[in-house]
Chain A
Amino acid sequence: MKCLDTERLIGYAYRLLDEPAAAEVCGHLQECTRCREAVAQYGRLDAVLNEWHEPGPSPAFDVRVRQAVEAEQARRERWGFTGWQWARNLALASLGVLMVAGLVWLNRNHRGVDHSTLVATQQSPHAGGAQNSGAAMNVHSAPSPTRVDVTPGLHAPSQESVNNGSTDDKDTQAMEDYDLAANFDVLSEIPKGERRVAN
């Protein structure tokens, strides 16, 4: 007679089998000594495991739980929010802060672009050479406040202007002296000085 596998024997000993499977094992055990002995050994294991006792909670346990619950109640009454309400309010507040920060960032970024465009338009009359004049024309021909892609190096100061002193000072002075209304022809929208160069 073929013995049953260990899983079925353990399952039988620890009542892990459904009714038909348990009945089948029971029938087998009546005829198989080895399997019967194995099941008896699992029964002894069950009895041995029962020898492991653990003491119950200390007398102070209930008091500690009650104190913890009372503290939780007091905390909730003090703040008036549950944990979920806290989480929800915190999420809403974080969202608000993020939106404000985003608006501030967008505003600053927008103003930064306008400033760089203005600087680009101011640099051209002081930059020497036909190349730079031509580049300046391209910028001046688009006086609208829309974003201008200022390619690095396009408006770099000439070697002459660098040698003659600080370009930053000149640029700053130029920005201060520059009168948009006076230098732009309203009809053509090309600065008068640059129009001469173009002609």
Chain B
Amino acid sequence: MAVETDLDLMLRVRDGDAVSFEVLLRRYRLPMVSFFRRMVRDQTLAEDLAQEVFLRVYKSRERYQPNARFTTWLYRIATNLALNAIRDRRDEMSGVGDDDSDGHSILQQFASPLPNAENTLVALERAKIIRQAVESLPENQRAAVILHKYQEVDYRQIAGILNVSESAVKSLLFRAYESLRARLEPMLREGEI
């Protein structure tokens, strides 16, 4: 049986098909939550925002026009919500820059594949450094890198999501990757950390 496209599913959701909405929810729940986790860090807020994305998709289903890819529309909603949340919480987040509040969940993530506690802690520390490096990027660069690197969205599609030109997206990514290379240089040399 062929996999139904997002477009087909969304058109059926528009016609009131609850099952199709459920399929879309299952397909994009993990990408949405992990996107928000990387954008805003906080697990609870990330899930609240992901829930809001699905609710907005549902609310606006009758007005859905298949002009662009479904994921472009979905990530545009998500990115706008994330950037607003970051701006709302900017002061709050700056005060907890070195906080490791999500360490427990990362610990759970690494618990099974790594053989011992020491490796787990090292992995945890490295993930924390990477996260801080990404969080240090300006908002648009951060969104572009997370979409490109972690959500595997093509740069042309990112242009549609961020509502900027393709060359502007390339420029954002060039600067972001160069900043990350500079910040993470010790990790790029084997044995440094």
Contact = CB atoms under 8 A, between A and B. Distances in A.
Chain B associates with chain A: yes
B37 interface: yes
Chain B contact patch, size range? 35 or more
B134 interface: yes
Contact of B105 (A14, A41, A52, A55): A55
A49 interface: yes
Contacts of A11: 170, 174
B50 A45 contact: no
Contact of B109 (A6, A53, A58, A65): A53
Interface stretch (B25-33, B84-92, B93-101): B25-33
B173 A61 contact: no
Nearest to A56: B30
A58 B47 contact: yes
Contacts of B184: 45, 48
Interface in A64-80: 64-65, 68-69, 72
Contact of A41 (B33, B131, B149, B188): B188
Interface residues of A, number: 32
Given A54-B37, A57-B50, 20 more contacts: A10-B177, A16-B170, A42-B177, A44-B188, A45-B184, A48-B130, A48-B187, A51-B123, A51-B127, A52-B150, A53-B127, A56-B29, A61-B33, A61-B47, A61-B51, A62-B25, A65-B25, A68-B54, A72-B55, A72-B59
Interface of A: 6-7, 10-11, 13-14, 16, 41-42, 44-46, 48-49, 51-58, 61-62, 64-65, 68-69, 72, 82-84
A-B pairs with the 5 shortest C-beta distances? A57-B33, A54-B37, A52-B130, A54-B34, A55-B105
19 contacts: A6-B174, A6-B178, A10-B177, A14-B177, A45-B177, A45-B180, A49-B180, A52-B38, A52-B134, A53-B110, A55-B106, A56-B29, A56-B33, A57-B47, A58-B47, A61-B33, A62-B26, A69-B58, A82-B62
